[in-house]
Amino acid sequence: MKLFVGNLSWGIDDNRLWDMFSAHGELKEARIVLDRETQRSRGFGFVTYANSDDAQNAIQKMNSKEVDGRAIKVNEAMERQPRERSNRW
């Protein structure tokens, strides 16, 4: 189960995200989303748990928790919707 983690400080990297969430269950992945041009954090990321019980536990424990002076937002990730492309050219 994949979770969205938002309102992160820009100093948090993949390893720190992993450390923050691995205490709540078996993780498969922890990834901060980076800006394509600057390679700096965009302030959010995703963590993927091996099972949904651990993911639900992490949501309960981590949502609204203060990390580096910011109340992080944690919820179930939604599937990305494909973007519509226009043929303006």
Nearest to 39 by CA among 14, 69, 67, 72: 14
**Residue whose C-alpha is closest to residue 1's, from 19, 32, 26:** 26
pTM above 0.75? yes
Q: What pLDDT digit, counting tens, does each position of 5-24 carry? A: 999 999 999 999 999 999 99
Confidence of residue 87 (pLDDT cuts 50, 70, 90): low
Where in the chain are the domains? Answer: 14-40+55-65
pLDDT per residue as tens digits for the range 17-74: 999 999 999 999 999 999 999 999 999 999 999 999 999 999 999 999 999 999 999 9
Task: Look at residue 72 in the predicted model and tell me its pLDDT.
Answer: 98
Q: Say what the pLDDT of residue 2 is.
A: 97
